[in-house]
Amino acid sequence: MSLPQRTQLLRWASQGRLDSRSLPAALKLVRATPTPAHWYRFLDRLALWTGLIFMASGVIFFFAYNWQAMGRYAKFGLAELLLVVTVGACWKLGLDKASGKASLLAATLLLGALLALVGQTYQTGADTWELFATWALLALPWVLIGRFSGLLLFWIGLLNLSVVLYLQTFPGRFLWVGLIFGPEEHFRVLFLLNSTLLCLWELGARRIDWLQAHWSRRILATAGGVFATGLALFAIFEFNRGDLFNLLVYLAWVAAIFLYYRHKAFDLFVLAGTVLSLIVTITALLVRLLHSHAGSSLLIGLTVIGLATAGGLWLKKVAGEMPT
Amino acid sequence: MNETSPRGLWQTLRDHSLVSGDLPPSASSPSPWYVRVMLGVAGWIGAFFLFGFVSAGLSFVLVSASAALIGGLLVSAGAGALFRVERDNDFIDQAALALSLLGQLLLIFACYETFSNDAFLLYGSIFVVELLATLAMPHFIYRVLTSAGASIALTLAMHSVGLHGLADALSAACFTLLWLQETAWVRLYSLWRPCGYGLALALFCSPASRLWGLDTLMVQRTGDLHGFMAVAPSLGNALLFAVFFGTALILLRRLRIAVTSRTGCVALASAILLAGVALFVPGLTQALLIVIIGHAACNRLLVGIGLAALAGFIGGYYYTLQTTLLIKAAWLFASGALLIVARPLARAVLPTAVTREEPADA
């Protein structure tokens, strides 16, 4: 099934090039409409993934409720039983099947529920970041053997969350001692984390099939881009020590993204996001440099329009250069 | 010849006598959605600075509602003329987008100045402005934004008079109608398609804003709900249920599967079950509708929006205060178990031609 073909047919029909009475037959001919078998497969997968995620979420909600009528051994027994069942289902079904992979994702979610139950029952005094960091650490072997990008992205989400919670608990203890601590440090650490992971992902994607899905790399690139842009905005609006460094880091990131996704692994999505990031950063720079009056607002507005036009034209040009 | 290229596609259609003549000269092909999103966001940024210019340099436009109304209409008319006249000039197109958004800001300002004491009239007038703008302005990104804006304004207007849940259901009905009738309304392609995306965004944003309490920031209403207000949420749920069920019926008819056949019965029973379960989690029915209609339209973007909504609403469900975590846990677990059990049942009941196993890809 193909969206570009479907869109093309609809456009021809809207222009009168294709008789609208022939449109359903044309859609069917180029298989731009789902058949009963497609529907079955789609709904089967939807039921599988949502079903297991619902069940695992239900278990997490249940332990979060901390039901007093249920003893601690019964709770641990339940959590461990469900974990064993999902891991067993994964082993039985195999990781080549979607059902095996979904079971592994459910097991990973249930692992978090079990760890939360340990903290809740024994009042270990551990900080929240430790829960997520331990969860990420213990789930790592499953992520590696799971070989699917959805689970890896979930794991990266856990890693990001544990870093954010760590920084909230211990501001200023992470790598850049002596700098101004606050959201800026969060952005710097998260930028470094996500950009490093993106580099590793791209390196891995050259050899490993399951890492080649565009959408997952795009999510990671978007996360890195948001934090890089945040760093640039901090550098522009707050002139502190190290701000020039932030700006240089941002410019290096932009250059690297343009070079890599333009020439090595073409991805228009990432390029479009980077163009938007540049527009936001240049606008912020103009706001910082120009005095606030009507003329500067008009100038900035026109500059944004000009930059967006130039960016759109460039994206159109590079998209046209790529083979279909 | 590559069958996916316009030339190859045209040739395939011609070989089957579905078209005649040579490939029509192609207008420039539309940009991918993410490039349009980039241009839309840039358009908004530009419009805010132009609004800053108007408020500082042409402040007489903002001294009264009538001045803002006239200013907004003039700017919008100018932008509309640019959209129609300069279709191939990218700079003019982007400038017209920013101007049209500026016009919208001025019109919304005029609505606020006139009706700031009455939330219903305020949001109702914004709804009318957005609706007319959607119909009048021939621009894809602009129509996505204004149709989403119209739907959200209608929701807020109805909430302000105590009618909760009805607007979401109406938006869901319009969304379904637009996407499921795409071949019938093909002549209005440039109108309904952006509206379809706009309504998908509204279906995503509206329950999300309710989950995170943003709607109460925008609509303050006190007093008991009575009469029609008291039954509005139930009516909304019933309408959502009907939309879900109707979608299943339309899709079955499209696939030429009789409702009374075994496959038809299984599909309808599943739809009833799914819609019934989903009603208990705010936003879940809308998210499932976006996913299913996205698949029907072979539209991965819609499916992606729906899946993101699905994940968001499950996360948000944790924080809703309507019921305890224990009840919520039971609902989630039971509905998940139901979905898992439904898979082998469907495989057993449906004809093998439909359930033929294909290699799994996660």
- Report, as an integer, the average pLDDT of B245-266: 89
What pLDDT, on a 0 to 100 scale, did the predictor assign at position A60?
92
Give the closest of B19, B53, B187 to A301, CB-based: B53
Predicted local distance difference test score (pLDDT) of residue B221: 56
pLDDT at B3 over 60: no
A22 pLDDT exceeds 70?
yes
Helix axes A268-289, A294-321, angle to 10 degrees: 160
Residue pair B263/B354 in contact (Cβ under 8 Å)? The answer is yes
Calculate mean pLDDT across residues B23-52.
84
pLDDT band for position B314 (50/70/90)? confident
Per-residue pLDDT at B313: 82
| Distance in angstroms (rounded) separating the CA atoms of residues A30 and A324 | 17
B13/A4 CB distance under 8 A: no
Give the list of residues 6+ apart from residue B206 with CB closer than 8 angstroms, or none: B151, B152, B155, B167, B168, B171, B286
pLDDT score at A37? 87
Ranges A64-73, A148-157, B12-21, B261-270, most confident: A148-157
Contact B362 A29 (CB under 8 A): no
pLDDT above 70 (res A2): no
Chain B nearest-CA distance from A251, in A, is 20
Task: Report the distance separating Cα A271 and Cα A254, nearest Å.
Answer: 9
For B106-129, the pLDDT digits (tens) are 999 999 999 988 889 999 999 999
Q: What is the mean pLDDT of chain B?
A: 85
Mutate one of A95, A218, A293, A304 to test the B interface: name it (highest B CB count within 10 A): A304
Candidates B9, B15, B41, B349: best to mutate against A (most CBs of A within 10 A) is B9
Q: How confident is the model at residue B208 (pLDDT cuts 50, 70, 90)?
A: low
Please tell me which of the candidates B257, B332, B358 has its beta carbon nearest to residue A58: B332
Query: Do residue B329 and residue A22 have CB atoms under 8 angstroms apart?
Result: no
Tokens of B208: 């999300």
Do A40 and B190 count as a contact with CB atoms less than 8 A apart?
Answer: no
Using pLDDT thresholds of 50, 70 and 90, give the confidence band for residue B303. Answer: very high
pLDDT digits (tens, 9 = 90+) for B142-164: 999 999 999 999 988 988 888 88
Q: What is the pLDDT of residue B112?
A: 93
C-alpha distances in Å from residue B75, one per residue of B59, B107, B125, B129? 15, 10, 18, 14
- Nearest CA to B357 out of A52, A49, A27, A96 is that of A96
Strand runs labelled E in chain B: none
Residue B354 or B60, more confident: B60
Q: Please tell me which residue, A158 or A13, carries the higher pLDDT value.
A: A158
A177: pLDDT strictly greater than 60: no
| Helical residues (DSSP H) of A94-213, grouped into ranges | 98-122, 128-146, 149-169, 183-205
Band of pLDDT at residue A227, cut at 50, 70 and 90: very high
Partner-chain contact B295 A96, CB within 8 Å? no
* pLDDT average, residue stretch A87-92: 94
Residues of B in contact with A275 (CB under 8 A): 38
Q: Note the ipTM here.
A: 0.84
Q: Do A37 and B57 touch (CB under 8 A)?
A: no
Residues 209-228 on B with a CB inside 8 Å of A are none
Q: Nearest residue on chain A to B256, judged by CA atoms?
A: A36
In the structure, what pLDDT confidence band is assigned to residue B4 with cuts at 50, 70 and 90?
low
Tokens of A150: 């959805």
Of A84-93, A195-204, B114-123, B221-230, the poorest mean pLDDT is in B221-230
Ranges A26-30, A54-58, A74-78, A114-118: which has the least confidence: A26-30
How far off is chain A from B147, nearest CA to CA, in Å? 21
CA distance B28 to B233: 46
Q: Is the distance from CB of A219 to CB of A153 less than 8 angstroms?
A: yes
The chain B residue lying nearest A324, using CA atoms, is: B5
pLDDT range class, residue A218, cuts 50, 70, 90 = very high
- Mean pLDDT lowest among A107-111, B59-63, B172-176, B210-214: B210-214
Query: What is the pLDDT at residue A210?
Result: 87
Pick the more confident residue, B188 or B196. Answer: B196
Chain A contacts in chain B segment 23-82 (CB below 8 A): 24, 28, 31-32, 34-35, 37-39, 41-43, 45-50, 52-53, 56-58
pTM of the full predicted structure? Answer: 0.86
Confidence at residue B273, expressed as pLDDT on a 0 to 100 scale: 83
- Least confidently predicted of A62-71, A159-168, B277-286: B277-286
User: What is the pLDDT at residue B360?
Assistant: 43
Give dist(CA B346, CA B267) in Å, integer.
9
Q: Alpha-carbon distance B290 to B247, whole Å?
A: 11
With a cut of 60, say whether residue A174 has pLDDT above it.
Answer: no
User: Which helix (H) or strand (E) segment is A148 a member of?
Assistant: none
Rounded to an integer, what distance in angstroms lies between the CA atom of residue B39 and that of residue A308?
6
| pLDDT exceeds cutoff 60 at B2 | no
Considering only CB atoms, which chain A residues are within 8 Å of B48?
A: 301
Q: Give the pLDDT mean for A43-55.
A: 92
Region of poorest pLDDT, from A176-185, A217-226, B150-159, B243-252: A176-185
* Chain A nearest-CA residue for B186: A14
Angstroms from A222 CA to nearest CA on chain B? 12
Question: Mutating which of A57, A274, A296 best tests the B interface, going by the most B Cβ atoms within 10 A?
Answer: A57
| Largest pairwise CA distance in chain B | 72
Chain A contact probe: residue of B16, B33, B36, B325 with most A CBs at under 10 A: B325
**Chain B: residue whose CA lies nearest to A209:** B361
Q: What is the pLDDT of residue B209?
A: 63
- Tell me what pLDDT residue B218 has: 59
